[in-house]
Amino acid sequence: MRGSFACGVAPLLLTLILAPAATTTFFSLPSPWGYRCDVGRCIKEDNTGVEDLVTLNTCKLTCGPFGVLWPQPKSATVGKEVVQFLPSNITHKTSCAPAVCELLEQAVVIFKDNLQRYHPDYAAGLTPWKGPWGPATVGHTLNLDVTVNTDATRLSLETDESYSLSVSTTGQTTTAIIITATYFGARHALETLSQLVEYQEYQDSLMIVSTAEVSDSPVFKYRGLILDTSRNFIGVEAIERTLDTMAANKLNSFHWHITDSHSFPLYLESLPKMSYYGAYSSRHVYYPADIRHLVEYGRVRGVRVLPEFDAPAHVGNGWQWTEKEEGLGKLAVCVNREPWQSYCVEPPCGQLNLANPNMYKLLGQIYDEMVQLFSPLDLFHYGGDEVNLNCWNTTAEIVAWMTENNNGLDADAYYVQWGTFQERARQLLTTANGEKEVTGILWTSHLTEAGHVDRFLNNSQYIIQIWTTGDDPVIGELLKKNYRVIFSTYDSWYLDCGMGAWVGEGNNWCSPYKGWQKVYDFSPYEIAINQTGADQRDLIMGGEAALWTEQVDDTAVDSKLWPRGAALAERLWTNPSANWKPAETRFIHNRQRLVKRGVMAERIQPEWCHQNEGLCYL
Ligand SMILES: *[C@@H]1O[C@H](CO)[C@@H](O)[C@H](O)[C@H]1NC(C)=O
Ligand SMILES: *[C@@H]1O[C@H](CO)[C@@H](O)[C@H](O)[C@H]1NC(C)=O
Ligand SMILES: *[C@@H]1O[C@H](CO)[C@@H](O)[C@H](O)[C@H]1NC(C)=O
Ligand SMILES: *[C@@H]1O[C@H](CO)[C@@H](O)[C@H](O)[C@H]1NC(C)=O
C-alpha cells in the first residue's frame, strides 16, 4: 500500500509517515480535519480515525467527474485513487517530427516546473527547483509517452488541438500516454496531466490519480485575451506570466493592442523616432528582441501572439516627429488636441492624416517591420474603431483635400474615405507579407453598421470583432451576411469595468464589474441562435476578454485578468450547457493552482468555502 492510497485510507497510517522536512511547524500532522467525497462534493469532517478520511487535495483530485480539471474536458474518467511520486522521478519519451520534438522537450520542462510549483515552499527564480521534497516516495516514477502525428509547429485557425491522454499505474510506475495530431494538442495534454497532480502534504510529495482517460478538443478555434500596452506599459515579465497563465487555461490567442494614442512603446528599427517620441520613457519600450522572444514564448505554450496596429483612429503620440522632417509633414492630426471631447472618445486624441500620402508610406513601413517581428502571421488586427469625423472635418488640410477631390464633407463622404484607407492598409499589409494575403480582424465600427458593412469590407478578407453589447442587432446582421466574428462584448467580457472613473468622478464607463459568473455564462452560440435562429458555429471563431489598461499596469494585470480569464477559457474550450454553478468548486481550485504558479489571481471567496465545498451559496 505504500505510495498508493485509496480515496479513503485511514489517517492512522499517516501518523507513521514522516512530517515534512525543512519546515518549522507548531502543528503535528495529521490535521484534526479530513475529507470524504460524498456525491461529487468534498465534506470536511473531524479526523477521528473512525472514518476513511483523506486530505483536501486528495479529495479534490478524485471527487466529482472532472476532479479539478480546468477547463472541463469534453470527456474524462478520473480514477478514485492516487499514488505518490517526486518531480525528479519523471521520465519521458516522444515520437514526433524533429521540429515538434524540439518543442515537446520545452513543453516537458515547463510541465516539470509547473509540478515543482505545487510545493508550498517553491522558490521562484531557482529553476529547476530542487526541493526540499520528502524522501518517502522516491520509488515511484511517472513516465510520459507522447506521440504527435503531424509536423505542424505554427498555430492557425485550422490547427487540430485535440488530444487523448491515458494514465495507468502498475506497481511503482505510472504511465501517461498522450496521442495527438499536433504539438498543440500534446501541450494541452500536458496541462491536463499537470491538473491530475497535486501536493500531498503528509508525504511532502506529489500525488497523481492512478488512472484517468481524457479525450478532449476545444469547441472554439479562437480563444483569447486582449492586452493594451499603450494606456499603460506592461512589462515583458508580466506578459510572459500572462502567456503562461493563458497556456494553463488552454487559451490560444494573445491579442496585443500595442499602440494607441497615449503612447507608442513599439521600437521599430526603420522608424526609431516613433517610440523615441511616443514611448513614456526609454524603459517603456518593446525592442525587437523582446517581441521575438514573446512570440516564441507564446508558440511554445500554444499561444499565438497576434499584433494589433490600431488605425486610422487611436493613433497620436509618437507621430509628432514627422512634422519636423523635411518632406514628410503632419501624418497624424488632432494629436493631443483639446477639448478632447470634440475630437475623440478619451484623452488624448489623434487620427491619421488621410490627406498626406506620406502617411501610407509610413504605415507600409510599420507593417513591414511588424510582419517581420511577428512572423509568420496567420492573422493581423487592423483595429479600425472609433473614428471621430469631427477631428478630420475640423482639420484644414483634410477639409481642403476632401474639397479638392470633390468628395464632399458629409458623414458618408468621410466613411467612404475611411473605407478606402482600410483597403489601402490591407494592400500594404499584403505587400509587407510578401504578397501573401493575411486574414484581417477589425473592430465593429461605423463601417460595420447595419447596411454599411458589405459596402466597405469583404467577408473573405476580414473577421469582425464585436465589442458592443450582446443584444446588438449588428451581430445578427454580420452573421447573416456570412462574416466570421470574434466576440468581445463589453457588457460581459471587458475586464477593466467597475472601477472609479479616471476622467471625472463616479464609476468608469462600462461599470459595473463583470464577475466571473457573468464571464462564464455569456454564450456566443446562444446570442447567434437568438438573433439568427442558428448557432452559426462555422462563423463564430470564438472570443476574447479585453483588458484595457487605463487603470492597470504591472501591479494589477494578474488580478484583473485572473481568474476571470479562466472563466472565459472554459466557455470557449468547453461551451458548457450548464451555468457557472456546477463549475464553481473547480473554478476556485483552479484559482488556487494559478496562485501556486506565481499568478496574483484575485481571490473569489474565503478559504473556508474552498474547504467546505458547496456551503457558500445563496
Ligand atoms: C528518483 O529520483 C531520485 C533523485 O534524482 C533518484 O535518486 C532515484 O533513483 C529516482 N528513483 C527512480 C525509481 O527513478
Ligand atoms: C463638416 O463641416 C461642414 C461645415 O464646415 C459641415 O457642413 C459638414 O456637415 C461637416 N461634416 C460632418 C461629418 O460633420
Ligand atoms: C473578396 O476577397 C476575396 C479574397 O481576397 C477575393 O477573391 C474576392 O474577389 C473579393 N471580392 C470582392 C467583391 O472584391
Ligand atoms: C434573446 O432575445 C430576447 C429578445 O430580444 C432577449 O430578451 C433575450 O435576453 C435574448 N437572449 C440572449 C441570450 O441574448
Q: What integer best gives the mean pLDDT of the chain? A: 94
Percent of the chain with pLDDT over 90: 90
Q: How far is the CA of 409 from the centre of ligand 2 (A)?
A: 5
Which residues 6+ apart lie within 8 Å of 610 measured at CB? 56, 585, 588, 589, 592
The model's pLDDT over 241-298, given as tens digits with 9 standing for 90+, comes to 999 999 999 999 999 999 999 999 999 999 999 999 999 999 999 999 999 999 999 9
Residue 447's nearest CA partner among 424, 416, 425 is 416
Residues 611, 606: Cα–Cα separation, whole Å: 9
Which ligand 1 atom sits closest to the C-alpha of 89? 1
Find the 139 Cα to ligand 1 centroid distance in Å: 7
What residues form DSSP beta bridges with 85?
206
* Closest ligand to the CA of 3: 1
In angstroms, the CA 573 to CA 417 distance is: 39
pLDDT 10s digits, 566-613: 999 999 999 999 999 999 999 999 999 999 999 999 999 999 999 999
459 CA closest ligand 3 atom index: 1
Q: Give me the pLDDT at residue 126, please.
A: 78
Q: Is 19 left (phi over 0), alpha (psi -120 to 50) or beta?
A: beta
**Cα(253)–Cα(221) distance, integer angstroms:** 10
Q: Return the pLDDT at 136.
A: 66
**What is the CATH code of the structural domain delimited by 222-611?**
3.20.20.80
DSSP 160-197: ---EEEEEEEETTEEEEEEEESSHHHHHHHHHHHHTTE
Check pLDDT > 70 for residue 10. no
Which residue's CA is the closest to the ligand 4 atom numbered 10? 530
Å from CA of 125 to ligand 1 middle: 24
Nearest to 20 by CA among 138, 132, 114: 132
The residue-averaged pLDDT of 202-219 equals 96
Query: Ligand 1: residues within 6 Å at CB?
Result: 88-89, 138-139, 141
CATH annotation of 16-216:
3.30.379.10
Least confident of 94-103, 135-144, 222-231, 554-563: 135-144
Ligand nearest to the CA of 394: 2
Helix (H) or strand (E) holding 288: helix 288-300
Residue 386 a catalytic site member: yes
- Ligand 4-lining residues (CB < 6 angstroms): 470-471, 526-527, 530
- Domain segments of the chain: what residues? 16-216, 222-611
Residues whose beta carbon lies within 6 Å of some atom of ligand 2: 389-390, 393, 409-411, 414
CA of 526 to the centre of ligand 4 (A): 9
Ligand 3 atom nearest the C-alpha of 458 is 1
Q: Convert the pLDDT of each residue in 127-142 to its tens digit.
A: 778 788 987 666 899 9
| Amino acid symbol at 401 | W
Task: List all residues 6 or more positions away from 443 whose beta carbon is below 8 Å from its beta carbon.
Answer: 383, 384, 385, 386, 464, 465, 467
Q: At what angle do helices 396-404 and 411-432 cross, to 10 degrees?
A: 90
Return phi, psi of residue 484, to 5°. -75, 145
Is the CB of residue 25 below 6 angstroms from any atom belonging to ligand 3?
no
Q: pLDDT tens, 115-127?
A: 999 999 998 777 7
**0.85 exceeded by pTM:** yes
What whole-number distance in Å separates Cα of residue 398 and Cα of residue 404?
10
So what's the pLDDT on residue 7? 37
Choosing from 213, 240, 386, 602, which is the catalytic residue? Answer: 386
Q: Find the mean pLDDT for residues 521-541.
A: 98
Mean pLDDT, residues 378-392 taken together: 97
For residue 471, give the ligand 4 atom closest to its CA: 14
Q: pLDDT by residue (tens digit) across 54-74?
A: 999 999 999 999 999 999 999
pLDDT at 26: 67
Work out the pLDDT band at 19, boundaries 50, 70, 90: very low
For 166, half-sphere exposure in the C-beta direction (CA atoms, 13 angstrom radius) is 6
**C-beta of residue 594 within 8 angstroms of C-beta of residue 245:** yes
Q: What is the dihedral of CA 352, 357, 358, 364, to 10 degrees?
A: 80
Residue 125 or residue 163, greater confidence? 163
Confidence bin at 510 (pLDDT 50/70/90):
very high
Strand positions, DSSP E, 413-458: 439-443
Distance 9 CA to ligand 1 centre (A): 26
